[in-house]
Structure 1
C-alpha cells in the first residue's frame, strides 16, 4: 500500500468525524466552563470541583464505555441492511444504559465517604461533598444520552449528537453563570451552582436528542411500538458481553488519570489545581482522537459487515495516520504556549490568592510539557481501541489496558510523584509511560487480528474455487 491509499480516506474520515469531535469538545466544554467559572472563586473551589469530578468521571467512564457496544452492532447491521437487528440492538442498548445510569448514581452517592480516607485537604473535601450529590444525579441523563448517541453514530448520523451538545452548552453556561455568581434573582450558590447547571443542561441534552432522532424520517420507525415483550436475554447478553470489557477498558484509563488527581491532592491543593488545569486542556485535545476513534469503530464495523477485510485495514490505518498528524500539531501547541495557557483558568488579579495562583501556573506549565509528549501515544491508543471495538474484539484489549495503565503507568506515577522531587511532573511521566505501552500493544493486537482475518478469508475463497 502506498501513502495515497491512506490519505485519500482522510476526506471521508473527517466528514464523519468532525461532528463527533465538535460534539465531544462541546461535552468537554461543560467541564471547562465549570473549571474556569469556579477557578475565579479560588484554588480551593477549583480543587473541590476537581476532586468531586474525579468520582463522577470514574462512573461516567463505565457508562460511556459500556454504551460503545451499541455502535459496532448497529453499524454492522446497517451494512448488512438488517433493520430488525438495528431496532433490537437500539432498544436493548437504551434499556441497559438507563438501568446502568441509575445504578451508577446510587453507587457514587454511597461512595462519597471514601473521600475522607484519601488524605485530601479537609477544606477541599468539605466543599466537594454536596457538589457530588447533584453531579452524580446527572449521570442518569448522560448515560441515557449515550444510548441515543451510540445508536445514531452506528447509523453514521454523527451530527445529531453535536447539535444536542451545542444546545446543552448554551443552557449550561447560562445556568452556571447565574447560579454560581448569583445574577438577577438567582441565589449565589458557588460550586453548587456549577453542579446544578450541569444537571439541568444534561437533562435538556437527552430530551433534545430523543426528539431530534424521533422526527428523522429514516430513524422514526425504530422508535415505534416499544414493548418489554421484545426484550430477549440473548440480545442483552450480547450487548453486555461487548459492553462490559469496553467499560473496563475505559475505566482503567480514566481511573489512571483519576489516580493522578488523588496523588496530586495528597501533595497539596496547588498541585491538585494545576493537575486539573493541565488535565482539562489535555482532555480537550484528546477529544479529537476520541472522535476519530468513534469513526474507526463505525467504518471498521461497516467493512466487517461487508466482509471486506482488506479495505478494513486501509480504512483503519488511514485513521491512525490522521490521528498521529493531528496530535503532533497539538503537542507543538502545548509546548509553544505551556506558560500562558494555565493563566486562563485563574484570576491572577486576586491578591488574596496571588501566591497560590503563581504556584499553580508554574506547576501546570510543567505538566503541559509532559502532556505535549503523550498526546501522540494517547491518540494512537484510543483510535486503535476504536478499530478493535469495530472488530468486536474487546477482551484482549481490556487486559492490555489494565497491564499498561495499572501495572506500568500507575506504579511509576506513584513513585515519582510521592518519593522524588518531580512531584506532580513525576505523576504525569507515569501517565506517559502507561499510554505509550498501551499504544504499542494495542497496535500489535490490531495488526495480528486483521492479518489473521485476511488470511482466513483468502483460504476460504480458495477452498470455494477448488470445489
Structure 2
C-alpha cells in the first residue's frame, strides 16, 4: 500500500521516521525501568508500592512527551543543513507535524504496557498492538487514496492513520487492563501522590541508562537513513524498505527480551540466582533459533520481497536485494543483543550495556558506514555493512557481560 506512493514518498517517510525515533526512543527506553520495578514488587505483592511506581512513571512520560514535541519543531531549523534532497523537505516537515502529536498517547500507552509486562500480563498489550496495527492499515487505505468519502491525503494519510491508531492504543490498553483483578489490586492504591523523590530516583536510575542505551542504538539506525539520503533518493528508498523489513522481525524478537526482563527480574527479587541464570540462557537459545529462521527466510525470498514495497524502479529493487543479504546475516546478532539487554535489565545492570551500545554504534558502526558509503561509494550497502559490524561487536560484548555477571552473582550467594 505504502509502496504504491513511489520512491519519493518512501524517502520522505524514511527521514520522518528517522527523526521521530531519534526523539522518542529515549522516552521509550525510560519506560523500561517500570517493568523491572513492577516485576520486583509483584514478587513481593506490594500493591501500594507498585501503584506509586506506576503513578511516577506517568508523570515522567507526560513531561517527556512535552519535551519531545518541542524537539520536533527545533529540528525543522536543523533539517536544511543536513544535506538531504531538497525536494522532500516540505513533505517531511508536514508529515512530522502531524505524527508528533502521537507522542502523547504513545508515551502514556508505554507506561501502561510496561506496567502490564511487569505483572507478566503480556496478552493485553499484544492484543491492543495488533488491533491498532489493523486500525492503522484500514486508515492508511482510506486516507492515502481517499476511499469512501475520506479525503485523499497521499503519504500524509500515513501520519494521520498512525495518530489515530496510537490514540486507540491508549484507550484500548486502559479498558483491557482494568478487566484483570491483579491490575485492580494496584489501581485501588492509585491516587494523587504529588511526587516522591525516592521513587523518581528508582525509576530514573534504571530508566535513564536504559533510555540512553536505546537512544544510542536506534538513533544510529536513524542516522543511517540520513547517510543513505546523502547517497540519493534511490539509495534512501532501498534503505527504508530493508529498515521496515528487519524492524518487523526485531519487534517479534523483542518479545523474548521482555520475557527475559520479567522472568529474571522476578527471580532476582526472590534471590533465586540459579534459576535466574538458567532462564537467561534458555531464552537466548530460543532467540537464536527464531532469528536464524527469519534470516534464512529473508535470504531465500530476497528476490520477491522488494516488490511488496515498490515495483516500478529496477535500481531500487536491485539495491534492496543486496542489502537484504547483509541485513539478514547481521539481524541474528541483533536478536541476541536484544535478548541479553533484557536479561541484564532484569538484574538492574544498565550502565555498562549503555556504554557498550555507544561504543558499538557511534564509535564503530556509523563512522565505518559513513566511510564505506560516501568515500568508497558503496551507498546503502556500505551503511548496512557498518551497522552489521557494530551489531556483531555489541552482541559479543553483551553476551560476555551477562556470562561474567551471572557467574559472580552465583558465587557470592
What TM bracket, shorter-length normalisation? Answer: over 0.9
Which secondary structure state, in structure 2, belongs to the residue aligned with residue 218 of structure 1? helix
Q: Is the 8 A contact 1:38 1:190 kept in 2?
A: no
Picking from 115, 119, 142, the partner of 1:151 is: 115
Residue 88, structure 1, aligned to residue 52, structure 2: yes
Distance in 1 separating the partners of 2:76 and 2:256: 35
Partner of 1:374: 330
Partner of 1:461: none
Distance in 1 separating the partners of 2:366 and 2:25: 18
Distance in 2 separating the partners of 1:207 and 1:423: 43
Picking from 120, 126, 136, the partner of 1:162 is: 126
Distance in 2 separating the partners of 1:312 and 1:158: 20
Residue 248, structure 1, aligned to residue 212, structure 2: yes
Distance in 1 separating the partners of 2:18 and 2:193: 39
Q: Deviations over 1:248-289 (max 9, x none)?
A: 100111111111101110000000000000111111111222
Picking from 305, 311, 319, the partner of 1:363 is: 319
Distance in 2 separating the partners of 1:82 and 1:366: 53
Which secondary structure state, in structure 2, belongs to the residue aligned with residue 303 of structure 1? helix
Distance in 2 separating the partners of 1:183 and 1:397: 48
Which secondary structure state, in structure 1, belongs to the residue aligned with residue 181 of structure 2? coil
In structure 1, stretches of 5+ residues that fail to align are 1-36, 349-353, 458-467
Residue 413, structure 1, aligned to residue 377, structure 2: no
Residue 264, structure 1, aligned to residue 220, structure 2: no
Distance in 2 separating the partners of 1:178 and 1:92: 38
Correspondences of 1:287-306 after superposition (within 5 Å): 287-306=251-270
Which secondary structure state, in structure 1, belongs to the residue aligned with residue 193 of structure 2? helix
Distance in 2 separating the partners of 1:319 and 1:47: 36
Q: Deviations over 1:208-253 (max 9, x none)?
A: 1111112322211322464333531110111011101101100111
Which secondary structure state, in structure 2, belongs to the residue aligned with residue 339 of structure 1? coil
Residue 447, structure 1, aligned to residue 403, structure 2: yes
Highest CA radius of gyration, 1 or 2?
A: 1
Cα 1:288–1:186, aligned 2, differ >3 Å: closer, same or farther? closer
Correspondences of 1:153-232 after superposition (within 5 Å): 153-224=117-188, 226-229=190-193, 231-232=195-196
Partner of 2:354: 398
Residue 134, structure 1, aligned to residue 93, structure 2: no
Partner of 2:10: 46
Distance in 2 separating the partners of 1:331 and 1:205: 30
Partner of 1:329: 293
Partner of 1:283: 247
Which secondary structure state, in structure 2, belongs to the residue aligned with residue 338 of structure 1? coil
In structure 2, stretches of 5+ residues that fail to align are none
Q: Is the 8 A contact 1:109 1:132 kept in 2?
A: no
Q: Deviations over 1:178-213 (max 9, x none)?
A: 111111221111121111111111011101111111
Q: Is the 8 A contact 2:47 2:185 kept in 1?
A: no
More deviation, 124-133/229-238: 229-238
Distance in 2 separating the partners of 1:343 and 1:299: 40
Picking from 275, 280, 285, the partner of 1:311 is: 275
More deviation, 211-220/259-268: 211-220
More deviation, 90-99/249-258: 90-99
User: Normalized against structure 2, the TM-score is what?
Assistant: 0.97
Q: Is the 8 A contact 2:38 2:115 kept in 1?
A: yes
1:84 Cα deviation after fit: 2.1
Aligned CA-pair RMSD: 1.3
Q: Is the 8 A contact 2:3 2:308 kept in 1?
A: no
Distance in 2 separating the partners of 1:95 and 1:215: 24
Residue 69, structure 1, aligned to residue 25, structure 2: no
